[in-house]
Amino acid sequence: MKKRLLSLTAAAAAAVVALASPAAASPTDDTIVTFTVGAANLNIFAPPAVNLGSTFADTTIEGSIGPVQVVDQRATLNASWVTTVSITEFVSGSGSPAELITPGLVEYWSGPATSTTGTGTFVPGQPTATDRVSLSVPRTAFSKTSGSGNNSATWNPTIRINVPATAVSGTYSATVTHSVA
């Protein structure tokens, strides 16, 4: 009986050695680790209101409406965007024909960037006053044509209103809209 117990103990010891042996295959398991670089939004910011002062019929009035800023936090590989500007009619009083100034009588120029962050090429729509355009249709105000990752651009656009000789006295208001995509 002693012999059997001894051989059983030797067999158990051999099994333990086989499990601990480096030559034996070890089971493995993989873990895939992921994380997300958060992508925020593409936003645009402009002043809520600006007063250009006063003028007379059959003259022009111009002034800065900025600063306008695009903040791109999408963290994309191709971080390009285009900002468009448009305007409503200037209206005074009840909006009779003599109390309207149409968008075709309004000119816009973006001017150069006053500040930028990130990589890429930032392109003003109208770098100087000689490049000004009529807002009779929506126009490109500013764009970013290359680069990646987060970025921003700020510019200080100017509008020029050609007040017609038929305009009557009053306070005229319009909405300038900058949008980015």
48 confidence band (pLDDT: 50, 70, 90): very high
d(CA 52, CA 61): 7
CATH number for the region 38-180 comes to 2.60.40
Q: What is the mean pLDDT of the chain?
A: 88
Q: Map out the domains of the chain as residue ranges.
A: 38-180
Alpha-carbon distance of 141 to 119, in angstroms, equals 19
Q: Which of 5-14, 40-49, 160-169 has the lowest mean pLDDT?
A: 5-14
pTM of the model: 0.79
Average pLDDT over every residue of 33-38 = 67
12 has a pLDDT exceeding 90: no
Q: Residue 41 is encoded by which pair of tokens?
A: 């939004």
Q: Who has greater pLDDT, 9 or 86?
A: 86
